Amino acid sequence: MKYENNLKTLCKIKGITANELAEKTKVSVATIQSLSSGRMNINKVQVGTLVDLAKGLDCKVSDLLADKKVKKQLQ
């Protein structure tokens, strides 16, 4: 599974950019971009960061990690 694509996909679904997500959360733009591009493994991110990202995207933490659920949202 490519977990890094879920953050990018969720941002697309929600219509939010990395900069906008960074403004809504305590997460830096660099971290969001690294996660979205796959340079940083989302499985190695602190739980608090995942919670912040999920709140910023109005989704569950599991949505950031569950590949199948995110793909279904696009259909």
Give the model's pLDDT for residue 63. 85
What integer pLDDT is reported at residue 1 of this predicted model? 45
CA dist 39 → 3, 5, 55 (Å)? 11, 11, 22
| Residue-level pLDDT at 71 | 57
pLDDT at 37: 85
What is the pLDDT, as a whole number, of residue 38?
83
- For position 53, what pLDDT does the model report? 96
Residue 4 pLDDT? 57
Dihedral (Cα; 57, 15, 35, 52), 10-degree rounding: -20
Residue segments in the chain with a per-residue pLDDT below the cut of 50: 1, 75
Q: What is the largest CA-CA distance in the chain?
A: 30
Residue type, 37: S
Token pair belonging to 74: 């696009």
Sign, CA torsion 70/47/15/32: negative
